Structure 1
Amino acid sequence: MSKPAATVRELIREHHAALTQSERKFAQALLENYPAAGLASITIVAANADVSTPTVARMVQKLGFKGYPQFHQALLKELEAKGSGPTQRREKWASEAPESHLLNRFAQTVTRNIEQTFANIDTESFDGAASQLADTKHQLYVVGGRITRALADYAFTHFQAVRPRVTSMTASSATWPHYLLDMEKGDTLLLFDVRRYETNLERLAELAAERGVQVILITDQWASPISRVARFSFNCWVEAPSAWDSNIATMMLLEALIAATQEECWPETRDRYERLDALFDLTRLFR
């Protein structure tokens, strides 16, 4: 299976060291409103980023594009991919799939997803998120969407064992104002949102951020709009030869965050584990 073309986001990260200060200014403006900030004409996107048109043209070429039209087309394709549903994804993979067995194609794809995900994680952001998740003086709220609520449930089960003050928010957005009512400055909201991004999750994140809650977003390679208000945002590669996206890379990142949070909280977490096991013995939950 041929390797998919790198996204513009990946190219910016790859070539960031070679960019000038003004080019980095445009790159930052693009990433803050990605990919919408690059979908207008070159003169408009330059003006919006407060840089010159030649600055944009030079940066585009440094990223490997022949010119701005090719760069613009790449962003349009990414935008189209963002909104694709299961049927479109299935058709895309069916048309591109080689004749090898599905198991081999799937293994190759998810392995590449994991590699791309972890290669693009900023270690300082990862450590910062783990430290935020380990802040037991404040409440940790966990929520996911239609598909990602399974990831949120998994995260809640583990973080509840690792540390106190963890709240699993229900899947019904009608109940979220009750949680917002209790959120305080310094609390953490761990949120999962992947393509065909959910407007109710975006509004929840905005309201939480306005209250001083630290939002940690786990999303896909195209990035949920929630990244605009998130303190920490992690992009996971999710495409697979299926009508459905893969959560394997996302799960690996989540488990890495759980492990890092556990280490941040140790030895308090060790004591919590021991007391939890004692309660399991009393309830005879396990054989």
Structure 2
Amino acid sequence: MTVRATIMQVAPRLTASERKLANAILADYPFTGLQQIQELAARTGVSAPSITRFVSKVGFGGYHEFQRQLIAELKESRRSPLDLMSEESAIQESDFLGDYAQRLADLLTTLNSTVPPGQFEAVCRLIADPSRNVFVLGGRISDSIARFLSTHLQQIRPKVFHLAQNSELWPEDILRMRKQDVLVLFDVRRYQPDLARLATLVRERRKTSIVLVTDKWMSPIARDGDIVVPLSIGAGTAWDTVVCLLAFVEALIVKVSESNWPATKARIEEWDALRLVRPDEVQGQGKSDEA
């Protein structure tokens, strides 16, 4: 578990001054926690002894141990495929596909522990609510997963918008956002600064709810997220995997579509009726070709 996740877990047990300190650390994570203890005390108005008690509650023997963990997380979150390749655990060449598939299967079993049922239900309720606009965007790689989500949601319900990768086109969508709407962002290591700036802008200017799907090291967007979903991406190879992200998204799609199946069914029927090539025509053409 990351320091951020631990802080959020112990938050209900913190004193007022400790919550103030926790908020400051999470607002610019992990960099605020890398300051000298005297600097952090001056910045937050929390005494050095209170900071020491805080890091003890978070599970560390002292402030230096706390900072060492933050530094380790920072290094891990910025690793490239070249860095990962140097430490990968070798896949069996005799059964490469089988070994790799087993690694992915092991990762999928972590979904139950990393995404509490209540959190999953909360995300589904936000996305399924027809009174809300839903905006979706991902990073350079993760946008393929974001697109998978938005494409399905557009068939399930109205008012779903996928933001362009070109940030110059974002103002139109931002101006459309309302307080009751939801922005779903995907951002995994190595995180994209422009997505973090987008989240902060939306939070400050539009007050829109933000759902972040990220990894266990957590994107900087987490400081602006209303719901943060950290998923496993490491498969012990040079390349991170998106299998848990895809599984999470597929579960969302199924849950949201079934939450009001009559409405979903009606929209899909209308959608198919407006397609230039209808599914029944494709099926008929296939039968004709076979004949």
| Same fold flag (TM > 0.5) | yes
Q: Distance in 1 between matches of 2:14 and 2:178?
A: 39
Considering only aligned residues, what root-mean-square deviation do their CA atoms show, in Å? 3.1
Task: State whether structure 2 residue 86 is matched by structure 1 residue 91.
Answer: yes
SS at structure 2 position matched to 1:80: helix
**Residue 74 (structure 1) shift:** 0.9
Amino acid at match of 1:245: D
1:233 maps to 2:228: yes
CA shift, 1:252, in A, is 1.9
C-alpha separation between the residues in 2 aligned to 1:185 and 1:100?
51
Indicate the residue corresponding to 1:221 in structure 2: 216
1:268 corresponding residue in structure 2 = 263
Contact 1:142–1:190, Cα closer than 8 Å, also in 2 = yes
User: Are the structure 2 counterparts of residues 229 and 259 from structure 1 closer, same or farther at C-alpha, using a change threshold of 3 Å?
Assistant: same
Going from structure 1 to structure 2, the CA distance change for 1:107 and 1:76 (only over 3 Å counts) comes to: farther
CA distance in 2, matches of 1:169, 1:268: 25
1:84-233, aligned counterparts within 5 Å? 84-93=79-88, 97=89, 106=100, 109-111=103-105, 113-209=107-203, 210-233=205-228
Q: 1:116 to 1:25 in 2, by over 3 A?
A: farther
Aligned identity (percent) is: 35
From 225, 238, 245, the counterpart of 1:243: 238
The amino acid of 1:270's aligned partner reads K
Q: CA deviation at 1:81?
A: 1.4
After TM superposition, the score normalised by the length of structure 2 is: 0.80
Q: 1:47 to 1:258 in 2, by over 3 A?
A: farther
Q: Which stretch has the larger CA shift, 52-61 or 75-84?
A: 52-61
What's the CA shift string for 1:95-120, capped at 9, x where partnerless?
xx268666676456545544445423
Q: Give the residue type in structure 2 aligned to 1:219.
A: T
Report the number of matched residues.
279
What are the within-5 Å matches in structure 2 for residues 64-83 of structure 1?
64-83=59-78
- Residue 281 of structure 2 corresponds to residue 284 of structure 1: yes
Q: Which amino acid in structure 1 is aligned with residue 186 of structure 2?
A: F
Give how far 1:77 is off: 0.9
State the distance in 2 between where 1:144 and 1:236 align: 15
In the alignment, the residues of structure 1 paired with residue 12 and residue 202 of structure 2 have an alpha-carbon distance, to the nearest angstrom, of 34
Q: Is the 8 A contact 2:91 2:99 kept in 1?
A: no
SS at match of 1:142: strand
Work out the CA distance in 1 between the residues paired with 2:99 and 2:37.
39
**TM-score in terms of structure 1 length:** 0.81
The answer as to whether partners of 1:163 and 1:265 remain within 8 angstroms in 2 is: no
Q: Indicate yes or no: 2:2 matched with 1:7.
A: yes
For residues 166 and 158 of structure 1, do their structure 2 counterparts lie closer, same or farther at Cα, with a shift above 3 Å needed? same
Q: Which amino acid aligns with 2:33?
A: G
Query: Is 2:43 the partner of 1:51?
Result: no
Distance 1:92 1:59 in 2: 34
Distance 1:104 1:16 in 2: 42
Q: Secondary structure at the match of 1:267?
A: helix
Deviations 1:213-244 (A, max 9, x none): 32221111122222222222211121222222
Q: Residues of 1 paired with 2:20 and 2:116: CA distance?
A: 19
Counterpart CA distance in 1 for 2:97 and 2:118 is: 35
Structure number with larger C-alpha Rg: 2
Offset of residue 173 of structure 1: 2.4
Instruction: Rate the CA distance shift 1:172–1:131 in 2: closer, same or farther, 3 A.
Output: same
Q: Distance in 2 between matches of 1:256 and 1:63?
A: 32
What stretches of structure 2 of length at least 5 have no aligned partner? 287-291
Three-state SS of the structure 1 residue aligned to 2:86 is: helix
